[in-house]
Amino acid sequence: MTRVTHARQRSPHTSIQVVAHRGASDDAPEHTLAAYRKAIEDGADALECDVRLTADGHLVCVHDRRVNRTSNGRGAVSALELADLAALDFGSWKDREESPDWDPVPGELTSVLTLERLLELFTEVRATGRPLQLAIETKHPTRWAGQVEERLLHLLNRFGLAAPPADEPSPIRIMSFSGRSLHRVRAAAPALPTVYLMQFVSPRLRDGRLPAGSRIAGPGMRIVRSHPGYIERLHRAGHRVHVWTVNEPGDVELCAELGVEAIITNRPKQVLSQLGRI
């Protein structure tokens, strides 16, 4: 009954954007080029990545503050240089007993991925006419405050992605749990959509408001399950809703019933199939 009560009316032909979380990370090691190639092959509408700044100023696609979980090395990303990260294996930790049932490019299952290289792949795909999008989440310790956004926008400018033409939607959006980070992005690049990520609903935002500088709501799936009515309030306030991380069929169904605009998932192929897209 709750789902029916809070469901937003949708046309059966309205598509929900399917976003590959750290690439097709259920099939390949997260944040590797192989994971993103697999997501593209699977038909994802958009890719998602996290970015951190290395000690020598490079943006790399690594989720955790430390490399311990996803590589054979140890230490904080911010204390390591790109050459240090390039010497590590970022893929062998996953599914050690199984080989993939698809053919990755040699080295792309294990090498650290820079945002620059991901943007190269992204622009190559878009050059073919495919309207692929990219969601970039900023991650950084306090001591890098402001520098991550500065380097990120500099890199997007190099690729011509920070200021899309006025009559075209941006293929890039910036996400963060930090309202301050999103405010910096909006001040420097007002054309870029911004997504405010949430692990819980702040009391001051329960009415559907978002922090200044945020255009899109990014609630975690736990919020959606526990407070489906909150999604309706976000929509009434005029916000789009992008939900993370949605992997289970029941969660996909709930998101579709509530009319969310994007599903961020480790399993883009399965979600696309469930939504009747493939």
- The CATH number linked to 155 is 3.20.20.190
Find the radius of gyration of the CA atoms of the chain. 18
In a 3-state reduction of DSSP, which class is residue 242? strand
What are the distances in angstroms from CA 239 to CA 25, 151, 168, 208, 259? 28, 28, 19, 8, 12
CA-nearest of 82, 102, 134 to 28 is 102
For the segment 208-256, what is each residue's pLDDT rounded down to a tens digit? 999 988 989 999 999 999 999 999 999 999 999 999 999 999 999 999 9
Within a domain: 170: yes
Q: How many domains does the chain have?
A: 1
Within a domain: 49: yes
**This model's pTM is above 0.85:** yes
Which residues belong to the active site? 21, 63
Tokens for 252, please give them. 């996909």
Within a domain: 84: no
Within a domain: 79: no
For the segment 184-211, what is each residue's pLDDT rounded down to a tens digit? 999 999 999 999 999 999 999 999 999 9
Parent domain of 248: 2-64+114-274
Q: Cα-flanking dihedrals φ and ψ of residue 29, to 5°?
A: -55, 130
